Amino acid sequence: MEKAKGHCVKYGDNVDTDVIIPARYLAIQDKAELATHAMEDIDQHFHDKIKKGDLLIAGKNFGCGSSREHAPQVLKDSGISCVIAESFARIFFRNALNIGLAIVEAPEAAKEIQEGEELEVDFTEGKIHNLSSGKSYTMAVFPPFLQEMIDKGGLIASVNEKLEKMQQKT
């Protein structure tokens, strides 16, 4: 987990999990199909404008509401490589890391970055570079074990890989 690079889409404060993925779609089992419904209640064009690697910028309390893991998963499956927000709801924050979606609390960056700007997030350096404006922002660096877990696709994938390695040794 070194860098994420892409254009950004931007939303405001208190985007809840029911907006990220409306409950009426939760019975869909196919991840790609489910991802086509991400954010559709506030942005019907979200799915069409996201390219793999793009970033989502949000205000305060992103991911509030229910504890459904579907919310960060559909963002990841939509192609979002990283979510930058002023703040996250605690359960969304944990669920995002558990499924391997990089998330960053960076209030100044979240306030100043505009929709459509191109960003590069350097997770090792702890910097968000706005390639459109030339401005850079500081962010907290994930500890190595979290970077590794996100790289492997989340908590379950990381644990499964470690178990496989242990079994191979025996």
| pLDDT at site 1 | 65
CB count, 10 Å around CB of 40?
16
| pLDDT at site 157 | 87
Q: Are 116 and 8 in contact (CB under 8 A)?
A: yes
Starting at the edge strand found earlier in the chain, the sheet holding 82-85 runs 102-105, 82-85, 55-58, 3-10, 118-122, 127-130, 136-138
Label the pairing between strands 3-10 and 118-122: antiparallel
Question: All domains of the chain, ordered by start, with CATH?
Answer: 3-169 (3.20.19.10)
List per-residue pLDDT tens for the chain, 170 residues long: 689 999 999 999 999 999 999 999 999 999 999 999 999 999 999 999 999 999 999 999 999 998 888 999 999 999 999 999 999 999 999 999 999 999 999 999 999 999 999 999 999 999 999 999 999 999 999 888 888 898 888 898 888 888 888 888 87
Label the pairing between strands 136-138 and 55-58: unpaired
Q: What is the pLDDT of residues 62-108, one digit of tens each?
A: 999 988 889 999 999 999 999 999 999 999 999 999 999 999 999 99
| pLDDT at site 43 | 96
Question: What count of Cα atoms within 13 Å lies in the side-chain half-sphere of residue 40?
Answer: 15
- Alpha helix segments (H runs only) across 3-154: 17-20, 31-35, 46-49, 70-78, 90-99, 107-112, 144-151
| pLDDT at site 117 | 98
| pLDDT at site 129 | 98
Q: Quick one: 81 exposed, middle or buried, by C-beta within 10 A (0-12, 13-18, 19+)?
A: buried
Is the whole-model pTM more than 0.85? yes
